[in-house]
Amino acid sequence: MSNFKICTKCHEAKKALEEFYQCLGKYRSECKSCTIKRNVKYQRENKTSKRYDYASRRLYMRKYYYNNKLKFAQYRAEFKKRYPNYYKQYFKKNKKNKNEEQKPLIKTSLTTCIQHNNNQTNLKK
């Protein structure tokens, strides 16, 4: 009878050598078919749970954003109220930088040169 082992899962007495996997020289407590069943079930659950997680996470994020939309808007409004010139200055600065970038450097130096010369000739006159 030592060749038989009772599976802890299905509680069936099965031939240990043929029906049970061995792990580190010892038979596992569950039979092969139960192990396979468990693995298949685990894999299937894992797959579906991953798919479920992905969908639910997306939904959660969407929900989170929707629920906090007002909060974000309030925060922005409060920030604007507290720093009314922040955005104005920011845009002004950006606009200025953009304009400066758009100006060709040689032209600017040339015009200042001409202006400088004009000033000098004006002074001479």
Nearer to Zn ion, 1 or 123 (CB): 1
Contact positions with Zn ion (CB under 5 A) in 27-56:
31, 34
Q: Which of 9, 16, 28, 37 is close enough to bind Zn ion by CB under 5 A?
A: 9
Q: Which contiguous run of DSSP H or E holds residue 107?
A: helix 105-124
Nearer to Zn ion, 41 or 116 (CB): 41
Q: Which of 10, 13, 73, 114 is close enough to bind Zn ion by CB under 5 A?
A: 10
# residues contacting Zn ion (CB under 5 A): 5
User: What stretches of the chain adopt beta strand conformation (E)?
Assistant: 4-6, 13-15, 20-23, 26-31
Residue 24 gets the label, from left (phi > 0), alpha (psi -120 to 50) or beta, of left
Nearer to Zn ion, 17 or 59 (CB): 17
In whole angstroms, how large is the CA radius of gyration of the chain? 39
Least distance to Zn ion, CB of residue 10, Å: 3
